[in-house]
Every structure is written in C-alpha cells, then in structure tokens.
Structure 1
Amino acid sequence: MDRTQEPADTSDPARGVAAGPPALGIGMVGYSFMGAAHSQGWRTVGRVFDLPVRPVLAAVCGRDSAAVRAMADRHGWAAAETDWRRLIARDDVHIVDICTPGDSHAEIALAALAAGKHVLCEKPLANTVEEAEAMAEAAQQARAAGQLAMVGFNYRRVPALAYARTLIAEGRLGTLRHLRLGYLQDWLVDPLAPLGWRLQRERAGSGALGDLGAHIVDLAQYLAGEPVVGVSALTETFVRMRPDPEAEGREGVPAEGEVTVDDAALFTGRLASGALVSFEATRMAAGRKNALRLELNGEKGSLAFDLERLNELSFHDHTEPAGTAGFRRILVTEPGHPYLEAWWPPGHALGYEHTFVHQARDLLTAVARGTDPEPSFADGLQVQRVLAAVEESAEKNAVYTPVQQP
C-alpha cells in the first residue's frame, strides 16, 4: 500500500513567509461511519480554529484495500494501510485515532501507546472493565513520557452542553436533585434488520447500553461533575434472531444468527452527592432517529437539552418571582459560548459534525501544550465500570413471571 510520508511544508522563512505551526500527523484506524465523522473533524479543524499545531491526514487503515483507498481519496488521507500495526509504525503518524469496533480498542490503543503515540479512542473505551483498566494504566504510564490519551465522547463538544456544564459549575441550578437522560433510536425496530457487529457481544461488548448508554452515562457525570456510584437496571433483547448476511441458509431462505446483546437498557442511579438519575437507552423506539434528551433539576433551577435542537438550552431560574418565572430558550450561538468564537455570526446554527471538529481542536491543543485532555482514559474506565454494573444488576433483575391469560 501507499506509505507516502507527510507532504513537505512549502513555506520559506528566508523569503519572509512564516513557517506556520509544526505539523502533527494523524493516523486513523477504521473508515466507516465514525471514521468519516472523524475525518471531517481532522480535515476541517485547521481551517476554522487558530491552532498551535497543524494536523496532517497522514494515513487511514482498513482491512479492505480497495475500500480504504477509496475512503482515503474521498476524505483527503495521504496514504492507506491494511494493517494497523504498519500504521502505528509510520514515522509520520503522531496521533492514532481508533474508530474500530470495541473488540479491537484495547489491542490497538496499547500498541500505539507502547510505540510512543498519542491516542484518541472512540467510546466506549473497551468491551470489558479489565480491558479498560489496562488501557487507563497504560495511558497513565505513557503520560510521564508526554503522551496523551483521550476518549471520543463527542457530545461533550456540543456548545450548548459545554455551556450547560459552565452554568451548573457556577451554581445556577444549586444542589442537583434529579437528572434524567434518554437516548432513543429506531433502526432495529424492523425484525428483518440484518445481524451485524453491533449486535454481537464478542464484537460490540453490549448493545444499546454501550452504544448509546455510554454517551448518557458520560454526559451525566460530565454535567454534574461527579460520578455515578450505584445503579439498578433492566435490559431486554426484543428480537433475538435476525437475518445473517454472512451465513448460508437454504436456497431462497436467508440464514439467521443470534443477537447476543441488549436492544434496550433502563436503569436508575445515584450520584456521589445523592442526586438521583434515570437513564434510558434503546434502539427500538419507533420514530426516534437519534433522540438524545436530558433534564437536570436543582434547588435553584433546571436545565433541559434536546439533540434535535442542539443549538439551544432550556433554562428555568427558580429564584425568579413565580409570576414571571418559567423555562426560557438560550440560543447557544454567541461568540462567548464554548467553541463559537471561530464559527459563524450569532444565530447561525451548528450541527452534529461540528462536535468532531471541536474534539480535534481540544486534543491538538492539549498535545501542543502538554495538558491533560478530557475525557481521559480514566474517565472512560469510570463509564465502563458503570456499564458493567448495569449489566450485573440487569442479570439479577432478569427473572420475572409473565401474567397468565385466563
């Protein structure tokens, strides 16, 4: 495969042309949906923000040589690889971006850290607590050598949610009492939707719990500034057998494979402060395409957010007189709001893809300054522990007796 090194910097300080910030090569493993989203972030970030380093899309890696080469050409990667070990070994790769299924996160991240690279790893950090512990420990050891590791919880980079955290940290809600978070999708409602890696425990680790629940667990802890310390849970797999495109069935009849992860997870929790939290994650909510909603209630007020209106917050100040108090809309598009100083004039909305631009900015800035990025692998491990506790609780609560019809 093409292993072209980083393009030469054509600026000439001797002729009065500034050399610009130093280059930092990005190597990405995985090239499907999330790889495309990350590519958008890496490709765009330097065109929007003034950065202390210049990201270079050095190489992308995938097992299918034709497909990964097409992806590289489409998204602007200089080279393509079919072996992630070769990608890590490249001299022009300084940050390894992991966008693969969860079963390979630990192996790739540990190898990249051992090779002296910085690492960005998609959520959830791993498929098991044991893998996540090994990754967090390796990241801590690598930190002493100046290497950084970050988990890709991109919803932290929605400006409205970053601003919500500021308001909460400033005490605008007072002591938190209730948090409720839901993440609902419907792409598995059809029982004929095919079996894929996201429905296989050995690849994905868990189903809606890890895919969607990881996001809302992280957001609860991020916004509140404290950990979830206990849970009680229910999970369910509503469709247990699905058509398997990779299996051979009788002529004209597709073979089926077993779904080995949850379709939905419902759980309650408690924060370290005693605040109560409810979580719902499902891929079986008909009509809900990507509905992430949350509300936080405190002694002094409340905040609510809906991803389908991601430039807005709903805020209620309970200290105002009752006659005029109520939820009001905050349009989070002002230059003083998080990340907005580099974008469009007030009122011009951003979208989902911008969260990956912001993620890239934050990691590149941390690498240049030598500061710890957030969320860290330790943060990812904390989320992994909550997910494991949810599964353990659900197993204990799994036995029930259906009502018998007369």
Structure 2
Amino acid sequence: MIRVGVVGASGWADSSHLPALTALEQFDVTAVATTNQASADRAAAAHGARYALADWRELASHPEVDLVVVSVKASGHAAVIKAALAAGKHVVSEWPLGIDVNEAAELTEAAIAAGAVHAVVLQGHHSPSAHFVADLLADGRIGALESVTLVAEGTPFGGSRISPDLVFSLDPSEGTNILTVMAGHFLSALERIAGRLTEVSARLPRTHDHVLVAGTEQTVPNATPSHVLLHGQLANGATASVAVHGGNGPARDGFVLRLIGSDTTLTATPAQPGTFIHWGEWDIRIDEETLPVPDAYRTVPASVRSGPPANIAALYREVAQAITEARQPHPSFETALRHHRVLAAIEQSAADGIARSIS
C-alpha cells in the first residue's frame, strides 16, 4: 500500500486527485494539507485521511507519507517538490511542472538526483480515447497521416473578464494561463496521438490589456495571451495546425480534432459537449463510421467517475506500477521538461516571428 499525502487538497485535487486515489486499492490517502486548518479538516473528513495539516512542510516530511501529490498553484510547485524530494518521497506534480522551462529543468534534475519516482499530471497521455485513436493511426486506418488540425476552447482564460480566484493568472510569472495550462494539456494529448512536434511557428495574440473581475466593477491589467495559434511539423512529416481560443466561458463545443490521412479522415469531438480533450470520452468517426472506444482501453475501476478523475486514476495506476517495478512512470518529470520546451519554442516564435525547432 502506497501512503499518499496531498498538498492543495481543497482545490482542484478535491474533485480529481482525491476521488481517483480513494478508488484505487494500491493507495491510502494518509494526509492532506491546505492553507488553513478548517479546510484541511473538511478535506480529511471527506476523503478519509488520518492527518489534516495546515502546513505543507509538515506533510512533505511526514513519516507516514510515501508519495506527495502537489496540487497547488504552479508558482508554488518548486518549494513543495524540493521539500518532498529532500525528505525521500516520491512525487506527483500537477501540470505545469514549473513556472517556466528553467524551473522545470531544475526540478527534473533534482528528482533524478534524488532517485525518486516522479510523475506529472498530463492526463491526456492516459485518455482511453487518445490511446484508441493513436492505435487506429498506427494500424493505418486512415492511411499515412498527412495533417492534423485542432481547434479548442481555452476558457476560462483569455476572455474579457476573469473570476476573482484566477486574477493571479494574468501575471505571466505565475505560469498559469491559456498557453501553459490549456494549450499545454491540449498539445500533450495531440502529441500522444500523432507524434512529437519538431518545429513550430506561432502567435500569441493578447486581445485584452485589461480585464474585468467577474462580479465586480474592477478591471485589472493583463499580460498573458488571449489565444494560442500555431503551425507545426511533426516528427513523421505531417503538419499540425492548432488554434486555442480564449473566452469568458463556459466552454460549449470543447474541441474538434481532425486527422487527415492519405486515404480518409478521422474526426474526434467531445462525447459530452464542452469538455476538454484531456478530460473525457470522445466521439470518434472515420468518414461516416462511428467507432466506440473498446472497453479494453479503460484500465481503472468502474467506481471511478467519468471526467478528470478517470484519466488521473489511470496515471496513478501507472505510478503504482512504476514504484513496484523501480522505474519511472510516464509521463515523468522528464516528459514534462520536454513539453515545457515545446511551450518555450512557441513563446520564442511568437516573440520574434521565426519558426523554432524543438529537440
């Protein structure tokens, strides 16, 4: 049994990580930490944790924790990860790993030096739908892949207003915006299916220099992109065209993914409109034929509810197996570092108008 401590248990983790972990027999949620004792107590009671802590440092070094889950703001990842590694813990970090590629490189180096198992939550890698579509491509169902197009909604980022709890994301130094979070996840899922991007030419338009704080009459400055537009080349020679458009939300269409092959075209859209590409099930079609995802691609218990917990639970199963086999899981911090390099190339291309290669 792997004993888990979750830092940031009252936010995103409450509806994703914790339901996933408590549904898996390999894990025991031992401790939770939040910013105050009352919310920590609530999280512990809701998910059966023995220890409710208001200090993440105490959790990171707790003797009854084997694996630390880092689910706080991206700007807070480095401190928690370093403390957990120093205490000899394994680590699962939310995406993005760090606020930029340099911090991601530092954290990856630290995790390797510590000899810990390290994973990042790019859950599109564990999407049954993405796995199935990747296999369809590998089996030649559409012929040779020639082009990929993805149009996706990036809300709640990039619009003319922002919720009060996301005002921090308007500062690029926080590492949380439409490029890093939304496009980051979407591109990770795309690469899981179609292969790695090797070159990008990009634009990052900023439509709104100031945005309204929802529910108030206050406007605040914005220094982050409103949209992500890129053309790219994949390692297999196919081209990629991606548009992630921001807005005020809620998301309505979610995404449209088209894989154009030498013989025919595969189209994927959300099974539930408005869900993101890395979260839920997809409707998959080749021409007019609908292709349901076979049950064999679903690797988590039926008790795990659909949506984010399902793909995150699949990641945790991979982490448990990696710990048992003394290897690194996928995606690891090294995967995350390479993906940070993709985003850095997009930023560089948008800044100087020059296409950038990605190693």
Farther off after superposition, 89-98 or 361-370: 361-370
Match status 1:266 vs 2:229: yes
Q: Quickly say closer, same or farther: Cα 1:79–1:380, change in 2 above 3 A.
A: same
Q: Deviations over 1:120-167 (max 9, x none)?
A: 11112211111111122223333xx4x211110112222111222222
Match status 1:296 vs 2:259: yes
- Alignment correspondent of 1:42: 21
5 Å matches for 1:6-405?
A: 23-36=1-14, 37-46=16-25, 54-142=26-114, 145=115, 147-187=116-156, 189-191=159-161, 193-194=163-164, 196-203=167-174, 205-225=175-195, 227-243=196-212, 255-284=218-247, 288-289=251-252, 291-309=254-272, 310-316=280-286, 326-332=287-293, 334-339=294-299, 342-343=301-302, 350-397=306-353
Farther off after superposition, 381-390 or 171-180: 171-180
Q: Quickly say closer, same or farther: Cα 1:262–1:35, change in 2 above 3 A.
A: same
* Whole-angstrom CA distance in 2 between matches of 1:117 and 1:338: 29
Q: Quickly say closer, same or farther: Cα 1:289–1:99, change in 2 above 3 A.
A: farther
Give TM-score, length-normalised by structure 1. 0.76
Amino acid at match of 2:327: T
What secondary structure is seen at the aligned counterpart in 1 of 2:338?
A: helix
The unaligned stretches of length 5 or more in structure 1 are 1-22, 47-53, 246-252, 317-325, 399-406
Q: Deviations over 1:164-202 (max 9, x none)?
A: 222233443443211122330443545364452222222
- Alignment correspondent of 2:276: none
Q: Which has the larger radius of gyration?
A: 1
Instruction: Please give the root-mean-square deviation of Cα atoms over the aligned residues, in Å.
Output: 2.6
Overall identity of the aligned pairs, in %: 25
* Whole-angstrom CA distance in 2 between matches of 1:192 and 1:155: 26
Q: Deviations over 1:82-131 (max 9, x none)?
A: 22221111011111111111112223223322322111111122111111
* Whole-angstrom CA distance in 1 between matches of 2:53 and 2:250: 39
Corresponding residue pairs, total: 342
Amino acid at match of 1:259: N
What secondary structure is seen at the aligned counterpart in 2 of 1:74?
A: helix
Farther off after superposition, 191-200 or 93-102: 191-200
The unaligned stretches of length 5 or more in structure 2 are 273-279, 355-359
Amino acid at match of 1:42: L
What secondary structure is seen at the aligned counterpart in 2 of 1:196?
A: helix
What secondary structure is seen at the aligned counterpart in 2 of 1:331?
A: coil
Q: For the Cα contact (< 8 Å) 1:200–1:259, is it kept in 2?
A: yes
Q: Quickly say closer, same or farther: Cα 1:307–1:45, change in 2 above 3 A.
A: farther
Structure in which a larger fraction of residues adopt strand = 2
What secondary structure is seen at the aligned counterpart in 2 of 1:229?
A: strand
Q: For the Cα contact (< 8 Å) 2:259–2:265, is it kept in 1?
A: yes
Q: For the Cα contact (< 8 Å) 1:212–1:282, is it kept in 2?
A: no
Give TM-score, length-normalised by structure 2. 0.86
* Whole-angstrom CA distance in 2 between matches of 1:136 and 1:68: 29
* Whole-angstrom CA distance in 2 between matches of 1:185 and 1:133: 26
* Whole-angstrom CA distance in 2 between matches of 1:191 and 1:179: 31
* Whole-angstrom CA distance in 1 between matches of 2:209 and 2:36: 30
Q: Deviations over 1:209-241 (max 9, x none)?
A: 11100012211221123x212211111232322
Q: For the Cα contact (< 8 Å) 2:268–2:285, is it kept in 1?
A: no
